[in-house]
Structure 1
Amino acid sequence: MPSAAGNTPGKLPFVVWVLAAGTFLMGTTEFVIAGLLPELAGDLGVSVSEAGLLITAFAIGMIIGSPTMAMATLRLPQRQTLILALTVFSLGHVVAALSSSFTVVLIARVVTALVTGAFWSVGAVIATTAAGPAASARAMGVMIGGLTLANVIGVPLGSFVGQYVGWRGPFWALAVVSALAAAVIGRCIPAREEHVGVSVRSEIGALRHGRLWLALSAAMLIMGGVLATYTYITPLLTDRAGIPEGAVPLVLIAFGIGALGGTTTGGRLGDRLPMATTITAAAATTLVLFLMIPLSAHPVTATALVFLMGLTGFTVNPIVTALAVRFAGNAPTLTSALTTSAFNTGIAAGSAVAGTALESSLGLTGPPLVGTMIAALTLLPLIALAVCGTSRAGRIVAQRRAPAGELIEEPAEVRSPL
């Protein structure tokens, strides 16, 4: 893996872009089910609501599986872990595509979620280490951008293909492409540079740092606020804004473009102005979600607010993820896995509370109101981080080359840019 020192100034290592492609595949498989539910339910002989469990199972698998798989694979070489994760990911899609049993497909989804957590936890460490501390947030922006791009391109394309060739078609495509990605990953991370000295005790010990939990709390809350609104955005657009159902995908693409712009912005500004950027973005997200309550009755303003919701909300993600890995010092693997769990916990909890609000007297404005309150709470851990970060040094992982040519990670005290 290229070291940060050897990078061309202003350019990220190629391996970061390869890892982003991997997150694109995994983001696509997580959300493409939503566009295939009717076809999948009919083919497997279950109701649409039962088929929806395939989405829930994946989210739960990510919440539980990310830290579990991170610890289970801790002593494996990083390259081997990534290749193994992509291989199992591919096989899981093959099993699902060949099966006519809903139970088997459900189990396959859980397994793919587990290895997705392993890929993310290790990939985030490799990306931030390869980019170096001066560009770690930008590297995370690129990786999270892969997930965001999945919503802009992967999910709509998968849904479109599935409508013509059946739901198994996208599963076969994901199986083939992920197998190819495993081969590319194997060539991008040389074996002689993959070994990292790790300790289960140090990984668990990193959880004692208070700033780490503040960053994880911010990650959970910002996603909870945005997804509380986004989960039920379709009825808001059709029944309140009067947008035709056929035009809703175009509005959702606008959200994806905004989210992609947000991750890019967060990645660019996060290394230089992390706290100013996150606090401003969280405050802007709160305002956008609040304005959606009175201004979502018009198609133009509703579309603009959906775009801004993605732009402001996703600006926070790469920064808090990079900060969490930095605060973990020489134990970043479990921490990067916990960020995945934090995001998915926020998504699950936010959408659940928003669903309750939707069924209440608040009606269609309930989800944006819930999202506003959750997003506003994001400011609390971010402000606490800004206060704590001004008086304490941050710890990052530095690399040195051992005599045998292996890379060993060492904790290095540096002045944090907080």
Structure 2
Amino acid sequence: MDTGTTPGRLPAVVWVLAAGTFLMGTTEFVVAGLLPELAGDLHVSVSQAGLLITAFALGMIVGSPTMALATLRLPRRRTLVLALAVFSLGHVFAALSGSFAIVLAARVVTALATGAFWSVGVVVTTAAVGPRDSTRALGVMMGGLTLANVVGVPLGAFAGQVTGWRGPFWALAVLSALGAAAIGRFIPAAEQRAEVSVRAELRALRHGRLWLALAAAMLIMGGVLAAYSYLTPLLTGRAGLPAGVVPLALIAFGAGALGGTAAGGRLGDRRPLATTLIAAAATSGALFLMIPLSASPIAAIALVFLMALTGFTVNPVVTALAVRFAGDAPTLTSALSTSAFNTGIAAGTAIAGTALDSLGVTGPPLVGAVIAALTLLPLAALARLGKVLPVHPSPETPSPRKSLVESLPCRPNPSNGPNRTHRRAFAGARSSPPRP
């Protein structure tokens, strides 16, 4: 795709896609702040209303790869526009309904639309900038999801208190419809015909490095969200913070996550493995330190910021690596990245909830620290299999269509020469992701 931008400047489509992920991140998490209103209006218990969160997560886990394959032969612009349109309609049906079952079904539908948008959006983002800036562009796109936690969720919760839970749903419906129009404006229709078959997408799953990157994505999110999901009892029960101050700590988490996503996007293109190894180790360390130091309010908030900063640094890097390892079949891989993140979140929070009951408020940070430490295993395995060098180590700027085999060399072997080494290290990976 001809971006029409100067080197170092991201094309407008990346920012439009980031706005889409902002809306979808907001709808995923805003329900947590609207549970009492939803439960009262739909005549269910708060715990039953919580199924609206679970349904969305399950829809993302199962729906992302399913929708990626189902829409593989559609032009990418059409897929993105349809995803946002269905996302908008799902919120309209939910806002008009007085039935919990219909609202629950609408949440599943919006999750499926989110999975389709995410899987195609990652491919469009990386293709729009080429391999040189792919991680930075993904950092911006994923930054929309992070910004949703900092801005979208608090605003949605506040609006829900003023207008009722239907108000935020109507707002999301209108904004996503506007987003569909913007997508149609910034992505040319002529460049959207997909050329990769379902068989080629499935064939990409044979690469071991791909699964290591997905494992790292799952574990780091599981570790961070295990602690984050139960921050309130830790901060109020151990650090002694008043309940009214807890949102400030959550803002610190959001600010750290936003900074980490930006840092990962900047550093990951140059030193992907070093960046992720250091960040994962720092995340585990911050979570371990939270156990003895969380009695201090200042230390607790500082560690909340640090775990978000380092944990979210890993996200754009491992996502970009997964797409690179997929070679010519990145669509299913980007969907599996979404499934990996949500699987980690679901498993991490479930284990942390058990630890909270058995170990008290320091149980979730302990679980998170262990899971984050396990992230080092797949990352170390990637380092062992072959050093992942920067996408373009030379000062020159090669064409974005340069082979991924050349972009991701393993350790050089003088006896084999660079070409044979590349072929052996990345058998099956032929070129950069197809142009959208």
Q: CA deviation at 1:415?
A: 3.3
Asked if 1 retains the 8 angstrom alpha-carbon contact of 2:276 and 2:313, the reply is yes
Structure 2 match to 1:108: 106
2:372 to 367, 370, 375: 375
Structure 1 match to 2:386: 389
Q: Does residue 44 of the first structure (1) align with residue 42 of the second (2)?
A: yes
Cα distance change, pair 410–278 in 1 and its aligned pair in 2 (3 A) = closer
Q: CA deviation at 1:392?
A: 9.7
Cα distance change, pair 286–163 in 1 and its aligned pair in 2 (3 A) = same
- Counterpart AA for 2:367: V
Structure 1 match to 2:70: 72
Structure 1 match to 2:246: 248
Asked if 2 retains the 8 angstrom alpha-carbon contact of 1:66 and 1:118, the reply is yes
Q: CA deviation at 1:195?
A: 1.7
1:198-224: per-residue Cα shift (whole Å, max 9, x none)? 111110000000000000000000000
Cα distance change, pair 317–38 in 1 and its aligned pair in 2 (3 A) = same
Q: Does residue 146 of the first structure (1) align with residue 144 of the second (2)?
A: yes
Normalising by structure 1, report the TM-score. 0.94
Asked if 2 retains the 8 angstrom alpha-carbon contact of 1:326 and 1:394, the reply is no
- Secondary structure at the aligned position of 1:12 is classed as coil
Asked if 2 retains the 8 angstrom alpha-carbon contact of 1:220 and 1:346, the reply is yes
Whole-Å separation in 2 of the counterparts to 1:399 and 1:135: 12
Q: Does residue 416 of the first structure (1) align with residue 416 of the second (2)?
A: no
Asked if 1 retains the 8 angstrom alpha-carbon contact of 2:260 and 2:313, the reply is yes
Q: Does residue 14 of the first structure (1) align with residue 6 of the second (2)?
A: no
Asked if 2 retains the 8 angstrom alpha-carbon contact of 1:20 and 1:145, the reply is yes
Q: CA deviation at 1:391?
A: 8.1
Asked if 1 retains the 8 angstrom alpha-carbon contact of 2:201 and 2:331, the reply is yes
- Secondary structure at the aligned position of 2:361 is classed as helix
Q: CA deviation at 1:298?
A: 1.1
Whole-Å separation in 2 of the counterparts to 1:80 and 1:60: 25
Unaligned runs of 5+ in 1: 401-408
Q: CA deviation at 1:389?
A: 2.8
Asked if 2 retains the 8 angstrom alpha-carbon contact of 1:271 and 1:417, the reply is no
Cα distance change, pair 123–243 in 1 and its aligned pair in 2 (3 A) = same
Structure 2 match to 1:274: 272
Whole-Å separation in 2 of the counterparts to 1:77 and 1:113: 21
Asked if 1 retains the 8 angstrom alpha-carbon contact of 2:74 and 2:194, the reply is no
Asked if 1 retains the 8 angstrom alpha-carbon contact of 2:270 and 2:389, the reply is no
Cα distance change, pair 294–77 in 1 and its aligned pair in 2 (3 A) = same
Q: CA deviation at 1:413?
A: 2.8
C-alpha RMSD of the superposition: 1.8
Q: CA deviation at 1:417?
A: 6.6
Structure 2 match to 1:224: 222
Q: 1:120-135 maps to which residues of 2 (within 5 A)? A: 120-135=118-133
Asked if 2 retains the 8 angstrom alpha-carbon contact of 1:64 and 1:341, the reply is yes
Asked if 2 retains the 8 angstrom alpha-carbon contact of 1:330 and 1:411, the reply is no
1:173 to 171, 174, 177: 171
Structure 2 match to 1:337: 335
- Counterpart AA for 2:294: S
Q: CA deviation at 1:399?
A: 9.3
Q: CA deviation at 1:333?
A: 0.1
Whole-Å separation in 1 of the counterparts to 2:92 and 2:47: 24
Whole-Å separation in 1 of the counterparts to 2:148 and 2:304: 17
Q: CA deviation at 1:35?
A: 0.3
Q: CA deviation at 1:7?
A: 2.9
Cα distance change, pair 412–243 in 1 and its aligned pair in 2 (3 A) = closer
Q: CA deviation at 1:390?
A: 2.2
Give the total of aligned pairs: 405
| Percent of residue pairs identical | 75
- Secondary structure at the aligned position of 2:362 is classed as helix
Normalising by structure 2, report the TM-score. 0.90
Q: CA deviation at 1:412?
A: 4.8
- Secondary structure at the aligned position of 2:405 is classed as strand
Q: CA deviation at 1:393?
A: 11
Asked if 1 retains the 8 angstrom alpha-carbon contact of 2:272 and 2:388, the reply is no
- Counterpart AA for 1:257: A
Whole-Å separation in 2 of the counterparts to 1:127 and 1:134: 12
Cα distance change, pair 96–269 in 1 and its aligned pair in 2 (3 A) = same
- Counterpart AA for 1:416: L
Q: CA deviation at 1:193?
A: 1.6
Whole-Å separation in 2 of the counterparts to 1:188 and 1:197: 21
Unaligned runs of 5+ in 2: 393-397, 411-436
Asked if 2 retains the 8 angstrom alpha-carbon contact of 1:393 and 1:413, the reply is no
Structure 2 match to 1:363: 360
Structure 2 match to 1:405: none
Whole-Å separation in 1 of the counterparts to 2:406 and 2:130: 13
